[in-house]
Every structure is written in C-alpha cells, then in structure tokens.
Structure 1
Amino acid sequence: MHTFEQRIQQHQAEHHSLNHLLNCYLREFAVPQQLVDWHAQGDLPKALQSDLLAGETVRIRTAYPLLKIAFKVQARGALNQIKLGSKLFAKPMGKPWQVLGTHAAIQALLEHMAMLTQTEPNIELQAQIHNSLHNMQRFLAHAQVPHINALQHTEQSLLWGHPFHPSPKSRSGVDADQLLQCSPEVGAAFQLHWFEIDPVLLKELGSPVINKVCEVLTGRTGLYPCHPWEVDLVVNSRIYQQASQKKLIRHLGPQGKVVWPTSSVRTLYHPELDVFLKCSIHVRLTNCIRKNAWYELESAVGMTELLAHTFEQVEHAHPGFRMLREPAASTLDLSPAGTTASQNEIVSLQESFGIIFREQLQIQYTDIHMAGSLAAWDTLGQSQLAQLLCEQAEQHGADKAEFTLNWLQSYFKLLVPGTLTLLFKHGVVLEPHLQNTVLALDKGLPARVWIRDLEGTKLVPQHWPSDRLKGLSERAIASVHYSEDQGWKRVSYCLLVNNIAEMIFHACQHTPGLEQRAWQCLAKLIQHTSQALGTPQALSGLLQGHALASKNNLKTRLFKKADRLADYTFLSHPLIAHHDKHTEHAAY
C-alpha cells in the first residue's frame, strides 16, 4: 500500500513527465500538422467546462485511430510551451470522454506518432520515458539537497530536467542503488574511486592538474580517480587485469574527500578545487552515453588554447560575459602493460579514464544560479524564477512587472551580444542553453554570466579552416567544424528557444502583456547587436519574422538517431523589429 506522500510523489512525477512529453509533441507534431485547437470549445469533457478549473482548454485531434485528447493549461508561452493544469481526457471514436491515465497517454501519443511517421511504435523510447518518470519519483522520495554553498545548491536543484525532452531523467546502464548514490537531484556527495598508478600510464593534455586534484582530495599524489559508475567496467577489463598483474596499477577503492555531482551528473564539484572534473561514464543520460571520447579530450584542451585570444577580446568588449575554459584533460594509457588486446579495446579503456578539467567559477558574488534551475517549477508547482523576482521586487520596493522587465533586460544584455559576436564576428558556435548558463545576481539583478561546455563548442570553417587548427587531429577537426547554417541553428536554438524563451515564460506568466514586452526588448537588443556586427543576414531575417529553429529531442529519440544528427522544427515567434500595430505578429 502506497502512503499518501508516495501517491503525491507519483502524481508529481507523472504530471511533469506528461507536461514534458506534451511540450515535445505539441511543438514537433501537433502544431506543425495543425492538429491542435487552442482555446477549444464545443466537444469537451464536462470536467474541463467547469469554471473551477482555471486556464486555457486545449484539444488535440489525432489521426487514426480517431481519438481526441483534451486538457487545461495554466499558462502558455509565446513559443507554445505549456504548464499543464489538469488530467488528460480522451475520447475514442463513438465513445464518451474519459480520464486518460499517464501510461495510456504515453502509449497513445507514441502510437499516434508512429502512424504519422509510418514507423513501428518505439518500445525503447517508451521504456526511456517510463524510466525517466520512475527516476523522478525516486528522486522526489530522497530529495534532500544540502546547502554547502549557492553553486552546489543550484547545480543539484534541477529536479524535473529539460522541459522539451521526452525522458529528461532517463538513466540506463546503472542500477537503482548506485543511481541514488551519485545523482545530484538527491543532494548526493560521494568519494571517487582511486587507483595507484605507475607514472608511465598517465597521459595529460594542456596544463598538468591531476596531481593537484589528487593532493586536495586525498592528501597524496601519484593516484588517479574514476567515477563510481565506471569502476566495474574498468576493473573487469582484461587490459586492466594484465596491467594490474604487472603492478602498473592498483585499485584502492573509494577514498578521500567527497565531491558533489552537478546538473550534468558526471561533472563533479569540490569547493577547494580550482577545476570541475568532467568524468567519463558509460551511462545513457537522455540522448547519449556520456563517455569522454579521446578526440573530445583533445578538442576541449585544443579549443581552450586556440580561442584564448578570441575569448579575451569578446569578454573585454562585453563585461559580465565569460566563457569557462577547459585547460586540461587526462587519461590512462594501459598499452605499456604489453597487452594483446586490440587498439579499439585500448582506446575504450582510455575513454573510461578520460577526464576533462573545467575551470572553477571565479566567484565574488554569493547569489549564484544555474539558469535551468530558475526556469523550472518547484514541487508545489510554482516557478522558481517567478518567486525569486517577486521576492526581489518586494525587497527593492519596486513594481513587480517593471522589476521583472529590468531583470530580463539585464540578463539579455549579459548573454546575447557576447554569444552573437562570437558566432558572427569570430565563427565560434557556443551552446548557451539553460543548463550551460550560470548567472550571478548583484542587488537582485543579473551581473555576470558564465557559459560552459567548451568541449561541445564548434567552429565555422570560413573563419577556422583546417590550417588554423594546428595541433588538432583530423578526427578532432571533423568533430569541431560546423557550417554557417548549422552554427546559426544551434546558437539560435540554444540561446533563444531553449534558454531565453523559457526564462521569459517563467518570469512573465502572472502578468498579462508582460511576455510580449519582454520579447520586444529582446528584439531591440538583437537589432542593436546586429547593426554592430554589420547586419548578418541570419539576424536581419530573424527580425523580419523568419522562423526560429528548435531542436527535435522527441523525433531524435523516436527515430533512434544520434544526438549529433538531430534535426529542427521551425517556430513562429514575436521577435519582430519595429513592432507596432501594422506588424502585429501572432505568437499563437
């Protein structure tokens, strides 16, 4: 028998899982195929016709088998992101409206998408959605995030995950007990596993940092760390066992000071270190198995060196904007053990030991937030950002709407010009989505942003031909090169759709008309930035109403594609320059 508290947690996990799936489904299928009725009237279940349930009624028409799905939304943003406000109701052909349970809803939507795309229902995706839902429930049952400091707390507060991913908390390749021991959502802190190594095995790129990390965490040098989720894979490898027999490496087990996993799960934090450790784990988180491929170690350090001057220029021109460097990487190469293993096996073990070291935030502020934790709902269904803005406006004795607009403008000014300058002036493609953006507040307003994930940064070949990329291997060059079109889609999606649109949605949902004013402020800033950059065609097109690219996380999983092959849906938006009554642009 479930306790009342467990039933509440189950309801919350199911509610947020459905909200995420509906966000994806509406954006990638229902809206483009004109299968959705906003402000629906007429044929609706009685429960949704009641005045007791606030919000807009939405009805989706599926194709075959003929089925209608209806629900209330408490809020809807300019890019049609929703806050689900009721249960789902379904009406099969010839039958009355009935409540649609969570599992039946997931199955119905997946079957409908299979028919639309003429594919078989994706059983793997269905399992990932359920895995994500069950993990949410587990996290809720154990969520006790401590407050060591503001950075650790915000990193461990991303409870529901990406609002436009069908399975944002799916994790496969790790058992339930280990999941809780190392997941940020439950406030986990854990010891790394350490290996005593012969120095001949150590391979370092960039600035040597591993010995300093060892010393801070264990009080010793000559050791090498490994994530607990990766240890079994390592010690069961025949290459490791041969090296161990030759006394080149010895597993010491977990020891030393604990580290805190950040929102990406595999990136680890300790306040006494001046670097984060981005570890390799053979665990599928959402779309990908999060191992550090050898060329990713190379490209992270190579890009830090290549782009040092460019970053300094842009940071100087745009104070408050900073790109976190990744100055070092390391791994172990066990081939000196004289193994008979294949090159692929040797490289695979190197990847298990691969670590990228990202510089720590140089913090002079105490009010630190990861953007993804702000643009999120708490367990009571309140927006974290809306609550923060309400508290700050009260503290400053300011009008809430004007303070919100001022806050958002401060955020836009920190984030947008630097990102667009790097793309259009320097050919550097960042990935400034919500989870890659950390901001500091000063007197309640955004004062600084840090953008991270240099390992995932790309370069436009027109600015960065291969002969400028000295020191990078052909494989690493292939991994960092992006066409101008790819670069613009990626930046516009991460910056405007994933990040800013969600921040606006959360900040403005309680004040009618405020969202439109925020988008107008953003349009003016983009127009000003565009002029300073010589009016790039992509920006002028955007301000004339050309559609925004939105990455298809649902279709990518549905078609079992690698994340790097994800395509886009194109969205109408309110980013129109010189916005007036003659150019009124419908957001929905």
Structure 2
Amino acid sequence: MHGLVLDSPAALAEEATLAALLRCCVREVAGPRGLVWPAPPYLLLRVAGTLLRVRTSGGAALRFDGPPERLERGAWQPLTSGELVELAEAALSDRPSPPGAELAVPAPSSAELDVPAPANPEFAGQVAASRDAVAAILRARADATPPADPWLASEQALVYGHAFHPSPKARGGDGWLRYAPEAHAEFPVRLLGVREDVLAEEGDASALDKLGEAPTGYRLLPAHPWQLGLLRPAFGVELVDLGPGPVVAPTSSVRTVYAPDAESCLKFSLDVRITNCVRKNAWYELAGAVELTSRLTPVFEELSGRFPGARWLPEPGYRSAALGSRLLEGLSVIVRASPWTVCSPGVTPVLAGALALGTPPWDPLAWWSAYVSAVAPPVLELFFRHGVVLEPHLQNVLVGLDPSGLPVEAVFRDLEGAKLVAGRHDLAGLHPRVAESLTYDAERGWARVVYCLLVNHLTEIAATVAGDDDALLRELWLVARDVLAARADALGRPLPLSDLLAGAPLPAKANLGVRWSRAADRAAGYVPIANPLA
C-alpha cells in the first residue's frame, strides 16, 4: 500500500479505486482487444504492454480476491491506482474510436459517438478526486449515526459507488460532504416563496405544501441548499426566501431526498457532475415525468394483475419558478412517491445496490429464485407487451423483503430513465423535444434493458449470493435462465429474448470510454461480455 495503513480510509479508498478502474480496463480496454486470459486462480490482462494479474470470483461481476499486481523485470509487484491510470491513459490514447462503435451490439448511432481526444488532461484528476472522496466519506461515516429507517440506511450504503466506473465518487463543487448520503447526511431544505403569477407547475405537486406555509399570494417551493448556493438567485418580490424548512435525508442519487413531512421523495436539480452527468432537471424532463406518470399508471395497474409484487414510484408533479430557463430548471423539484407508501404492510423496501454489498442469504437458491422472479418478469413484460423501457439497475430498484428476508416485491423508480418504444405509442400533441426525450427505438431500448437488468444488476446480486463458490454461481444462472425462459414462453418467444437465452453476448455500458472522451452519458456505447445464461 506504499506507506498507507492497512484498512485506513486512505488504504480502503485506494483499494476500491484501483479495483473499479481495473474492472473497466478488463471490460473496455483489454477485453475488446483479446488481451484477457484466465490463468486460475488468476485473471491475466495486458494494458499498454504491461502484464497484470489479479485473483477473481463472481463471474462477470469481477470481484477481486487480493491485490492486483503488475509484472516488472520478471517479478510481480503491487499495482497502484496511479500506475493503472498511466497505463489506461496510454492504451486509451491509442484507441481509434469509442467502445461500442464498431461492435455488433446495440449501441447509439455513430452520429452520437464522439471520437475521443488523443489525451484527456482531466482523467487522472477525476480518478484521484474520486479516491479522495471515498476516503473522506469513510472518515465521516465512522463518526456518523446511520438512520433508523432500514430503507434509508440502504440508500446510504453505497460508499464505493459503481463497480465499473473509473471515478464513481468524483463530485464537482465544494462542501459536498455535508450533503452526501454515504456520510449519513441530513439537512433542512430551504423554503422559498414563488409569487403565484410566476409559478411553474404541472401535475399534482401538492405534497410540497406540507413542508410549510407560504405568504398570501405565494406558493411554497423547497430548494436544495447546495443548489441554492450554486444558483444564487436574486430574491425580490417574485421570489422570496422563507428560511430553513423540515429536515430531509439524501438518497443514493445525492440530489433526491426523502422528506418525511411530505411523505414523499423530492428530486431536485443539482448543477454538479456526479459520475457521468450534471444532475439538472431539464425542462423537457420535468414535463416528461408528469407525462410518463399519466401514461404508466394504467400500465402498472394492469401489470400488477399479472405480477402482484410489482410496484413503482410515480412522479405526479413538479413545481418551479417561471423566471427564465436557468431558474426554471435550476429551482425545479419533482415529487416522487415514497416506497413506504407502495410496499405492502410488513414488507421492507431495500435498495438493490445495498443487497449487492451484503452477505449471502441462508438459503441461496430459494432466495435467488424469489429475487429474480420478483425483479425480471415485470421488466420483460413491460418491454415486450407494453413497449415500455425501464432502467432496472441497482440504484433504480428497491426490493421488498418479507419479515424472513425473502424478496416478495420489486419497486421500480426514476422516470428520467424510463422510455417508450418508438412507434408503439401515440405521442401526437407533445412538444417534439418532450417526445424525443421519452422515446428509444426498439434496438436501443432492448440494449438498455439487458444492460441494466442483467449486467449492472443481476450479475452483481448473483456474485454476492455465490461468494467464491463458482459451482453455486453456475446453479444460480440456471435458475435465472428457467425464470426468463418461462417468461419468454408466456410472451410468445420474442426474438430478442430468444437470442438472449441462446447465449447472445450481453451489452456492457462503457463508462470508461465516456469519461475518457468527455462525452455525454447518452453517447455511451456498449462492449460485449459473455452471457452467463448460455
């Protein structure tokens, strides 16, 4: 650890940063070039001419058992994140196009893909900033009290972030730690008053009125204090500052908070880059959330008839101030239902991402069968029968556990990532930009479903359930295959699902390529990885 105290925050942050970047290199740098080889108990890969090795388990999840090493002058030496950054930079500078551009795997069109620059001076700093953020989170977490609410505790458990991202905890701006869910933060929202004639509102945002009282002629608008500090709006007659409001707790996305007083979650705009994106509510996303809630309400009512455990968190309305586009978007807040309002009595919602970090259940096969049966069939039903694309990744799914810990419900959330399959829905009458933001073509939509459901989600849960037992991991995927095959039969064996069951490669999102090319997240391509269902 080069002078770091073992298990200190700095050492743990270095270990996590190195592991995440190495996973990216396996998937996006060495893998597509055929420079990854199994050499049990190690996995070998070559990056920029340097041979690396690491012990692995968990299949496609690439859980590392022990420190990665590099071959130097015939001897294996410990690898550091700084050294791997230099190797990755050398390899990425040599790549002619972004990952996914030349692959026969569904990906955005070539027009959407930006060719990476020969160098990215920001890259090393982003990786280092993410590592430093993890260390800061670990130090703050050691002195903080976790919430008593088990759901909130699970939301605040993702200390290390995305396992396949080069800088999962890099965050822009100053003072971020006081708003960090991983540090068990809580803080009062700031209450603003918007004069009624400049109020921007659509749908039902009445839950916001439970947070306090506005003066006569004004409507209440809660604001995230971090965002308010970034925007620095001019207060006057049309927009007034009413001071601190009720205390809220941030959920895993940072900008979405749980407001117990409103019995709702509040999704704020936040002009800060978190992982790949600046987390701002664009005007068309505000309108899109309300539109999708209206359209998906009858769909989920029908879905719950087939799958009683299927739940979702509607986003019935938003509120902001019509004081120019900057403040309209920057001060906007979307109301989202709380998971406690949709889960059955006695069922506890837990973030799937937190379950991926947990310990194996007492009966792994039965637990896994219940888990896959709760999460996967509703997603497939929505896509093939209703033309609806969900993003069921680890941060967008809450799993409802019964008192014994068995998965019995699946709660899907975040309508920003939900889309409608083009040609399957009548979007006449919508603003063209809103309609565009709500749709994917069928190929792109299917790639997104498969990536989120299988690559990002189920592979991670399976790795946790199996631990280092490769035989059990194979059994788990046989169980998953049976669940998906049964749904395929019920849907009439649609070709994309048949191809998946036949072993077609899985599309894995290229987060390293996106960060290296400094492209928008929507420009991310996919790299193919082996299909464990084969």
Look up the SS of the partner of 1:369 in the other structure.
strand
Q: Give the whole-Å Cα distance in 2 for the aligned partners of 1:68 and 1:4.
A: 24
Query: Contact conserved, 1:280 with 1:290, CA < 8 A, in 2?
Result: yes
Shift, 1:107, TM fit = 1.8
Look up the SS of the partner of 1:195 in the other structure.
strand
Query: Contact conserved, 1:466 with 1:477, CA < 8 A, in 2?
Result: yes
Q: Which residue in 2 is equivalent to 1:582?
A: none
> CA separation of 1:229/1:544 partners in 2, compared to 1, >3 Å: closer, same or farther?
same
Q: Give the whole-Å Cα distance in 2 for the aligned partners of 1:352 and 1:275.
A: 20
Look up the SS of the partner of 1:447 in the other structure.
strand
Q: Which residue in 1 is equivalent to 2:42?
A: 57
Query: Contact conserved, 2:450 with 2:507, CA < 8 A, in 1?
Result: yes
Q: Which residue in 1 is equivalent to 2:140?
A: 142
Q: Give the whole-Å Cα distance in 2 for the aligned partners of 1:416 and 1:110.
A: 37
**What TM-score comes out, normalization by structure 2 length?**
0.90
The RMSD of aligned alpha carbons is: 2.3
Deviations 1:257-304 (A, max 9, x none): 210000000000033422200000100000000000011010001000
Q: Which residue in 2 is equivalent to 1:338?
A: none
> CA separation of 1:211/1:433 partners in 2, compared to 1, >3 Å: closer, same or farther?
closer
Query: Contact conserved, 1:326 with 1:455, CA < 8 A, in 2?
Result: no
Deviations 1:392-418 (A, max 9, x none): x2xxxxxxxxx1011011011111111
Q: Give the whole-Å Cα distance in 2 for the aligned partners of 1:408 and 1:544.
A: 21
Q: Does residue 78 of the first structure (1) align with residue 59 of the second (2)?
A: yes
1:446-465 residue pairs with structure 2 within 5 A? 446-465=407-426
Deviations 1:433-487 (A, max 9, x none): 00101112112210111010112210112211433xx4x3111101111011001
Q: Give the whole-Å Cα distance in 2 for the aligned partners of 1:229 and 1:99.
A: 40
Query: Contact conserved, 1:210 with 1:224, CA < 8 A, in 2?
Result: no
> CA separation of 1:530/1:135 partners in 2, compared to 1, >3 Å: closer, same or farther?
same
> CA separation of 1:496/1:95 partners in 2, compared to 1, >3 Å: closer, same or farther?
closer
Q: Which amino acid in the other structure matches residue 233 of structure 1?
A: L
Q: Does residue 348 of the first structure (1) align with residue 337 of the second (2)?
A: no
Q: Which residue in 2 is equivalent to 1:497?
A: 455
Q: Which has the larger radius of gyration?
A: 1
Runs (5+) with no aligned partner, structure 1: 41-55, 335-345, 377-383, 394-402, 577-588
Query: Contact conserved, 1:216 with 1:273, CA < 8 A, in 2?
Result: no
Match 1:280 to one of 269, 282, 288: 269
Q: Does residue 225 of the first structure (1) align with residue 222 of the second (2)?
A: yes
Q: Which residue in 2 is equivalent to 1:252?
A: 242
Look up the SS of the partner of 1:425 in the other structure.
helix
Q: Which residue in 1 is equivalent to 2:283?
A: 294
> CA separation of 1:353/1:88 partners in 2, compared to 1, >3 Å: closer, same or farther?
same
Query: Contact conserved, 2:4 with 2:11, CA < 8 A, in 1?
Result: no
Q: Which amino acid in the other structure matches residue 380 of structure 2?
A: L
After TM superposition, where is structure 1 displaced by more than 6 Å over at least 4 residues in a row? 2-7
Q: Give the whole-Å Cα distance in 2 for the aligned partners of 1:436 and 1:518.
A: 22
Q: Give the whole-Å Cα distance in 1 for the aligned partners of 2:14 and 2:4.
A: 15
Q: Which residue in 2 is equivalent to 1:125?
A: 123
Identity %: 34
Q: Which amino acid in the other structure matches residue 479 of structure 1?
A: S
Look up the SS of the partner of 2:519 in the other structure.
coil
Look up the SS of the partner of 1:456 in the other structure.
coil
1:471-486 residue pairs with structure 2 within 5 A? 472-486=430-444
Q: Which residue in 2 is equivalent to 1:416?
A: 376
Look up the SS of the partner of 1:32 in the other structure.
helix
The 10-residue stretch of structure 1 (267-276 or 540-549) with the greater mean CA deviation from structure 2: 267-276
Look up the SS of the partner of 1:435 in the other structure.
coil
Shift, 1:360, TM fit = 1.1
Q: Give the whole-Å Cα distance in 2 for the aligned partners of 1:405 and 1:204.
A: 48
Q: Give the whole-Å Cα distance in 2 for the aligned partners of 1:181 and 1:221.
A: 30
Q: Which residue in 2 is equivalent to 1:342?
A: none
Shift, 1:201, TM fit = 2.1
**What TM-score comes out, normalization by structure 1 length?**
0.82
Q: Give the whole-Å Cα distance in 2 for the aligned partners of 1:316 and 1:305.
A: 19
Q: Which amino acid in the other structure matches residue 153 of structure 2?
A: H
Q: Give the whole-Å Cα distance in 1 for the aligned partners of 2:152 and 2:75.
A: 50
Q: Which residue in 2 is equivalent to 1:113?
A: 92
Q: Which residue in 2 is equivalent to 1:29?
A: 29
Look up the SS of the partner of 2:527 in the other structure.
strand
Look up the SS of the partner of 2:94 in the other structure.
helix
Query: Contact conserved, 1:90 with 1:100, CA < 8 A, in 2?
Result: no
Q: Which amino acid in the other structure matches residue 431 of structure 2?
A: S
Match 1:321 to one of 310, 315, 322: 310
Q: Which amino acid in the other structure matches residue 414 of structure 2?
A: D
Q: Does residue 553 of the first structure (1) align with residue 508 of the second (2)?
A: no
1:177-576 residue pairs with structure 2 within 5 A? 178-209=175-206, 211-215=208-212, 222-235=219-232, 240-241=233-234, 244-245=235-236, 247-253=237-243, 255-334=244-323, 346-361=324-339, 362=341, 363=343, 364-365=345-346, 367-376=348-357, 384-386=358-360, 389=361, 393=362, 403-442=363-402, 443-467=404-428, 470=429, 472-576=430-534
Q: Give the whole-Å Cα distance in 2 for the aligned partners of 1:234 and 1:86.
A: 43
Q: Give the whole-Å Cα distance in 1 for the aligned partners of 2:214 and 2:197.
A: 22
Q: Give the whole-Å Cα distance in 2 for the aligned partners of 1:278 and 1:162.
A: 21
Shift, 1:27, TM fit = 1.1
Q: Give the whole-Å Cα distance in 1 for the aligned partners of 2:7 and 2:483.
A: 47
Q: Which residue in 1 is equivalent to 2:158?
A: 158
Shift, 1:113, TM fit = 2.2
Q: Give the whole-Å Cα distance in 1 for the aligned partners of 2:278 and 2:440.
A: 22
Shift, 1:33, TM fit = 1.3
> CA separation of 1:507/1:195 partners in 2, compared to 1, >3 Å: closer, same or farther?
same
> CA separation of 1:61/1:217 partners in 2, compared to 1, >3 Å: closer, same or farther?
farther
Shift, 1:124, TM fit = 1.5
> CA separation of 1:217/1:160 partners in 2, compared to 1, >3 Å: closer, same or farther?
farther
Q: Give the whole-Å Cα distance in 1 for the aligned partners of 2:214 and 2:253.
A: 21
Runs (5+) with no aligned partner, structure 2: 98-116
Q: Give the whole-Å Cα distance in 2 for the aligned partners of 1:28 and 1:76.
A: 19
Q: Give the whole-Å Cα distance in 2 for the aligned partners of 1:224 and 1:310.
A: 31
Look up the SS of the partner of 2:335 in the other structure.
strand
Q: Which has the higher contact order (CA 8 A, sep 6+)?
A: 2
Count of matched residue positions in the alignment of Structure 1 and Structure 2 = 507
Query: Contact conserved, 1:273 with 1:360, CA < 8 A, in 2?
Result: no
Query: Contact conserved, 2:4 with 2:10, CA < 8 A, in 1?
Result: no
> CA separation of 1:573/1:216 partners in 2, compared to 1, >3 Å: closer, same or farther?
farther
Q: Which amino acid in the other structure matches residue 385 of structure 1?
A: T
Q: Which residue in 2 is equivalent to 1:67?
A: 50
Q: Give the whole-Å Cα distance in 1 for the aligned partners of 2:266 and 2:272.
A: 17
Q: Which amino acid in the other structure matches residue 416 of structure 1?
A: A
Q: Which amino acid in the other structure matches residue 77 of structure 2?
A: Q
Q: Which amino acid in the other structure matches residue 433 of structure 1?
A: H
Shift, 1:217, TM fit = 12
Shift, 1:540, TM fit = 0.6
Deviations 1:74-104 (A, max 9, x none): x42232623251143342xx67543333312
Shift, 1:223, TM fit = 2.8
Query: Contact conserved, 1:145 with 1:153, CA < 8 A, in 2?
Result: no
Look up the SS of the partner of 2:242 in the other structure.
strand
Q: Give the whole-Å Cα distance in 1 for the aligned partners of 2:405 and 2:230.
A: 46
Look up the SS of the partner of 1:466 in the other structure.
coil
Query: Contact conserved, 1:20 with 1:164, CA < 8 A, in 2?
Result: yes
Deviations 1:111-157 (A, max 9, x none): 22222448523221221111111000000001024233111111111
